[in-house]
């Protein structure tokens, strides 16, 4: 018998973060009607009819736990599972900008397709083998030639053929997930120039939409299950259409495929806004099967606690009468009384955790003030942000949370009204137009810049801010891209390079807000409200975010804007390659501060190393990711 003080608390795990997470115990009576409805809808999909479901409930009610039970049933771990197994189960947290919902879904879909199974092969290997067997007796090349699959582009079929044959798998995986490849890598895969990739938001979304629809059809007749969780996180963008694009995406999956089951989950308090901001026709498709997941009553709450206790064999000697021993029934009754007769699973488990620790005489955990808890969470997310190593994530982060950050800073910013303009903000001398230009593929950037030149008049150019990650270099060979950028800058547009620290802070802000919006941010068993997190962020706005907002909406400092990248400084560097910054400033008649600012604003061409003797050097001879020979 383990001494009571050494027993592990069976209520340690309170939050199920994703459907694939192992759970200590599952009480089948909880939400059994919703679970039965999931199975019913799935069987309809297996029969050739795409379907949609909508889960709504309080934060912590058990939506993700229910999806986990459904996933285990699909895998044959419960009741022998369905007669037809799904091709793939795709769990997606909708922490993205509304303008990028299809690209976000494509990435998660591809990641699941590329998951390695127990036999060492990817899920996609089995899907393609079964597709080839259905179409051409097992020959993948003939299968893609003979199959008439809508939205299956030539590039996608080439990548799938090569993946199936085991060729260039690293490049295939990157392409399938929507990552940008260099020209050399595209040539290796035999792919043509991307006329649409990233050149326009709508075209990029359309390309991702075709990919998702085509891959669902390749899987047919096997069902594809999409679980779209945290739909409320889309509202962080503050875009007026924050839900309508998502609703249209779900409606499209239902209307244009025959083998998709789409389960969307949203916290109840956001349901009315979701319905208001979705088109009625799209909403009809989404909410044909609505499941309102109510908090637990005392009977189901008792069963949940019993299941957790029974799942811990070490506790058996301390529970001679079973039930919820060693907890007391009176304590359980008080918990439900405090919550008006019903309690979410998360709150109940948190209280049971506290009561169990009291029973075993464990020292209570040190109480951390809520503000300190939020600060630590924010610091963790900022340090952990993937944008620190992957500059291509900048676009989604900025599109998702920049307007919210501006609001928290007391600035005015809204979604842009013109194509190519993501935001319009109030600046020091009137409105400012913000265009996100974080294209890794320079021909795509060239097309966006050309479009901006064509649609904005000369008077609007000084109000234009082109936002681009400082590590996304424009190579010297990208002549058209450089030409368009120089034309915009000559007309008064300003190139703004967000520092990596600012982007990491923005990413942490959106993750913290998304967690609070969905109710998953809990402190001492209680969800921390989105309003509380927003108030903390407003009072503790990171200095690097404030500096970025100042740069977007303020006026340039240090005199007139520096010259374009191919000006006098670059000419000097092309001759000497490396120069002492003070000497270069003397020769050009600039201040050292102007010299540093110019280098910082043109990191694709000029390198700068600070120090007692600052140094400038030419980056023009180095290759760049996503470069193009003609743009």
Q: What is the pLDDT of residues 19-58, one digit of tens each?
A: 878 788 899 999 999 999 999 999 999 999 999 999 999 9
* 231 three-class SS: helix
Of 261, 293, 325, the domain-final residue: 293
Domain annotation covers residue 302 = no
**In this predicted structure, which of 185-199, 324-338, 442-456 has the lowest mean pLDDT?**
185-199
Alpha-helical (H) ranges within 341-429 are 345-359, 370-384, 394-408
User: Which residue from 631, 95, 136 is spatially nearest to 157, judged by alpha carbons?
Assistant: 136
What range defines the domain where residue 631 resides? 558-631
Higher pLDDT, 458 or 628: 458
Rounded CA-CA distance 618/249 in Å is: 46
User: Which CATH number does the domain housing residue 168 bear?
Assistant: 3.40.50.300
CA-to-CA dists, residue 248 to 51, 200, 288, 304, angstroms? 14, 19, 15, 38
Q: Are residues 549 and 567 in the same domain?
A: no
For residue 42, what are the contacts with CB-CB under 8 A and spacing of at least 6? 51, 74, 82, 86, 223, 225, 261
Preceding peptide of 175 cis, ω within 30°: no
| CA distance from start to end of the chain | 73
Residue 547 has pLDDT above 70, yes or no: yes
Q: Are residues 534 and 396 in the same domain?
A: yes
Of 241, 259, 293, the domain-final residue: 293
Q: Are residues 475 and 612 in the same domain?
A: no
CB 310 within 8 A of CB 25: yes
Rounded CA-CA distance 212/228 in Å is: 14
Average pLDDT over residues 451-468: 92
- Mean pLDDT in the chain? 88
Domain annotation covers residue 331 = no
The phi, psi pair for 355, rounded to 5°, reads -65, -35
CB 211 within 8 A of CB 106: yes
Residue 392 has pLDDT above 50, yes or no: yes
Q: Are residues 397 and 539 in the same domain?
A: yes
For residue 370, what are the contacts with CB-CB under 8 A and spacing of at least 6? 523, 528, 532
**In this predicted structure, which of 106-110, 140-144, 234-238 has the lowest mean pLDDT?**
140-144
Q: Are residues 395 and 536 in the same domain?
A: yes
Average pLDDT over residues 244-256: 97
Q: Please work out, in degrees rounded to the nearest 5, the angle formed at the alpha carbon of residue 75 by the alpha carbons of 71 and 77.
A: 95
The model's pTM = 0.85
Domain annotation covers residue 321 = no
Domain annotation covers residue 360 = no
Q: Are residues 511 and 592 in the same domain?
A: no
Of 555, 577, 608, the domain-final residue: 555
Domain annotation covers residue 238 = yes
CB 400 within 8 A of CB 510: yes
Residue 423 has pLDDT above 80, yes or no: yes
Q: Are residues 547 and 562 in the same domain?
A: no
CB 410 within 8 A of CB 425: no
Residue 624 has pLDDT above 50, yes or no: no
Sheet bearing 88-93, strands edge to edge = 88-93, 224-229, 260-267, 51-57, 290-293
Domain annotation covers residue 518 = yes
pLDDT in tens, 486-509: 999 999 999 999 999 999 999 999
- Looking at residue 557, its pLDDT comes to 45
Q: Are residues 283 and 196 in the same domain?
A: yes
For 33-181, strand residue ranges (E) read 51-57, 88-93
Average pLDDT over residues 437-451: 87
Domain annotation covers residue 318 = no
pLDDT band at 567 (very low <50, low <70, confident <90, very high): low
The tally of domains found in the chain comes to: 3
Average pLDDT over residues 544-549: 94
Q: Are residues 596 and 463 in the same domain?
A: no
Return the number of other C-beta atoms located less than 10 Å from residue 593's C-beta. Answer: 12
- Per the DSSP assignment, residues forming a β-bridge with 343 are 296
Rounded CA-CA distance 180/295 in Å is: 45
Rounded CA-CA distance 445/449 in Å is: 6
| Environment class of 557 (CB within 10 Å of its CB; exposed 0-12, middle 13-18, buried 19+) | exposed
Rounded CA-CA distance 401/398 in Å is: 6
Rounded CA-CA distance 295/38 in Å is: 19
User: Which residue from 432, 396, 435, 391 is spatially nearest to 604, judged by alpha carbons?
Assistant: 391
Q: Are residues 78 and 167 in the same domain?
A: yes
Q: Are residues 186 and 276 in the same domain?
A: yes
Rounded CA-CA distance 405/238 in Å is: 10
- Looking at residue 625, its pLDDT comes to 39
Domain annotation covers residue 265 = yes
Higher pLDDT, 336 or 135: 336
Q: Are residues 48 and 190 in the same domain?
A: yes
Preceding peptide of 326 cis, ω within 30°: yes
């Amino acid at each position: 018998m383990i001494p009571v003080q050494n027993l592990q608390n069976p209520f340690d795990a309170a939050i199920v973060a994703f459907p694939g997470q192992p759970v200590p115990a599952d009480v089948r009576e909880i939400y059994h009607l919703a679970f039965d409805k999931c199975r019913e809808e799935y069987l309809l999909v297996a029969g050739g009819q795409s379907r949609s479901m909508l889960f709504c409930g309080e934060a912590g009610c058990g939506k993700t736990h229910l999806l986990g039970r459904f996933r285990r049933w699909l895998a044959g771990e419960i009741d022998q599972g369905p007669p037809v197994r799904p091709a793939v189960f795709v769990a997606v947290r909708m922490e993205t900008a509304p303008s990028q919902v299809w690209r976000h879904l494509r990435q998660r879909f591809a990641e699941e397709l590329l998951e390695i199974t127990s036999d060492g092969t990817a899920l996609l290997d089995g899907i393609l083998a079964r597709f080839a067997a259905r179409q051409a007796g097992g020959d993948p090349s003939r299968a893609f030639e003979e199959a008439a699959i809508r939205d299956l582009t030539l590039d996608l079929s080439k990548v799938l053929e090569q993946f199936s044959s085991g060729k260039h798998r690293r490049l295939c995986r990157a392409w399938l997930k929507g990552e940008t490849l260099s020209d050399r890598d595209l040539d290796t895969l035999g792919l043509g120039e991307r006329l649409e990739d990233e050149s326009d938001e709508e075209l990029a979304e359309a390309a991702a939409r075709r990919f998702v629809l085509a891959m669902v059809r390749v899987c047919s007749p096997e069902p594809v299950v999409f679980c779209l969780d945290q739909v409320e996180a889309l509202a962080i963008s503050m875009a007026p259409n924050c839900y309508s694009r998502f609703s249209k995406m779900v409606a499209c999956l239902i209307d244009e495929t025959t083998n998709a089951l789409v389960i969307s989950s949203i916290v109840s308090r956001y349901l009315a806004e979701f319905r208001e901001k979705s088109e009625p026709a799209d909403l009809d498709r989404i909410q044909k099967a609505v499941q309102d997941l109510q908090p637990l009553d005392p009977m189901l709450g008792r069963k949940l606690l019993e299941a957790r206790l029974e799942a811990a064999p070490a506790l058996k000697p301390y529970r001679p009468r079973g039930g919820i021993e060693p907890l007391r029934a009176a304590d359980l009754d008080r918990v439900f009384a405090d919550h008006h007769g019903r309690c979410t699973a998360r709150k109940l488990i948190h209280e049971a955790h506290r009561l169990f620790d009291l029973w075993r005489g464990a020292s209570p955990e040190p109480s951390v003030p809520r503000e300190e808890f939020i600060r630590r969470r924010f610091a963790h997310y900022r340090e952990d942000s993937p944008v620190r190593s992957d500059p291509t994530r900048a676009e989604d982060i900025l599109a998702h949370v920049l307007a919210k950050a501006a609001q928290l800073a007391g600035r005015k910013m809204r979604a842009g009204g013109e194509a190519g303009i993501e935001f319009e903000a109030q600046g020091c001398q009137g409105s400012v137009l913000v265009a996100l230009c974080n294209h890794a593929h320079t021909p795509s950037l060239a097309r966006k810049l050309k479009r901006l030149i064509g649609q904005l008049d000369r008077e609007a150019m000084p109000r234009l801010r082109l936002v681009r990650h400082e590590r996304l270099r424009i190579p010297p060979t990208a002549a058209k891209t450089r030409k368009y950028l120089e034309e915009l800058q000559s007309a008064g547009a300003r190139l703004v390079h967000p520092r990596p620290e600012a982007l990491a802070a923005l990413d942490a802000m959106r993750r913290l807000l998304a967690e609070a919006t969905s109710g998953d941010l809990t402190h001492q068993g209680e969800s921390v409200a989105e309003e509380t997190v927003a108030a903390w962020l407003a009072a503790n706005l990171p200095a690097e975010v404030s500096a970025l907002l100042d740069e977007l909406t303020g006026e340039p400092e240090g005199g007139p804007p520096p010259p374009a990248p191919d000006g006098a400084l670059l000419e000097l560097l092309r001759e000497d390659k490396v120069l002492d910054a003070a000497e270069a400033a003397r020769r050009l008649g600039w201040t050292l501060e102007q010299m540093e600012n110019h280098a910082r604003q043109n990191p694709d061409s000029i390198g700068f190393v600070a120090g007692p003797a600052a140094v400038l050097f030419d980056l023009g001879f180095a290759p760049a990711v996503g470069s193009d020979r003609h743009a």
